[in-house]
Amino acid sequence: MKYLIVNADDFGASRGINRAILELHELGVVTSASLMMRMPAAGDAVRLAKASPTLGVGLHVTLTDEDTVPSVDFDDAASCKAAIQAQIEAFSAQFDSLPTHLDTHQNIHRDPRLTPLFKDIARHYELPLREHSAVRYFSNFYGQWDGDFHPEQIGLETLLQMLETELRDESITELSCHPGYVGEDFVSPYHSERELELHTLSNPRLRELLRADAVKLISFRDVRAVTGQALRA
């Protein structure tokens, strides 16, 4: 059996992004989303998630703006830890539960000043942390790098080929994605690419491939049952 988590980042960034994520979840494609508690549409995302209990919801820790400018001094470990903790507590207050997993906006957990903090927090709560758990993180479904638009990277044929190559027997893979409807309420360098991702992920050929290849779609809340053990960072 091959296991796949299709995780949509930026849940809560805008109503258009929220709507796209829920549409893909209802299609049976997106199984998980990472919620940005500090964004304007976070309340809308919480409402939608509560009405869709089969959607796994993790925390997309946000310590930068869309231009990658930090909102807290990364050299100040205490302040960073407090900011991360505050977002976990805000999530828990809304859902009365912990997030299913932790990841970060713009992958700031890769910063060597922050990695130990995130690993300690993930270990404390026994939560999977992106790139530090039994779940393989696959990030190549992304249509921009070095400031250039690469629509071919998020086209259907490329995605199908990547999945056929990357999914492995008896392994859990996380495919991250960033679908959304473009709107004036959210300005981001990753813009028109979101609607192209939505179009690709909505294509029935994707679901046909997953069925034909015996891929089981799960969310992070299923990981412990699949691995038979707690995930620790």
**Domains of the chain listed by start with CATH number:** 2-227 (3.20.20.370)
The Cα–Cα gap between 230 and 233 comes to 10
The confidence score (pLDDT) of residue 154 equals: 98
- Sequence-separated (6 or more) residues with CB below 8 Å from residue 59: 34, 35, 37, 87, 88, 91, 99, 101, 102, 103
The confidence score (pLDDT) of residue 229 equals: 53
The confidence score (pLDDT) of residue 186 equals: 87
Question: What CA dihedral angle connects 178, 181, 187 and 193, to 10 degrees?
Answer: 50
The confidence score (pLDDT) of residue 66 equals: 86
Backbone angles phi, psi at 108, to 5 degrees: -70, -10
Cα 119 to Cα 38, 60, 83, 160: the distances in Å are 21, 15, 15, 32
DSSP strand pairing (144-145 vs 136-138): unpaired
- Sequence-separated (6 or more) residues with CB below 8 Å from residue 220: 5, 7, 32, 56, 58, 100, 101, 128, 135
Query: How confident is the prediction along the chain (233 residues), in pLDDT tens digits per residue?
Result: 899 999 999 999 999 999 999 999 999 999 999 999 999 999 999 999 999 999 999 999 999 988 889 999 999 999 999 999 999 999 999 999 999 999 999 999 999 999 999 999 999 999 999 999 999 999 999 999 888 999 999 999 999 999 999 999 989 999 999 999 998 888 888 989 999 999 999 999 999 999 999 999 999 999 999 987 544 44
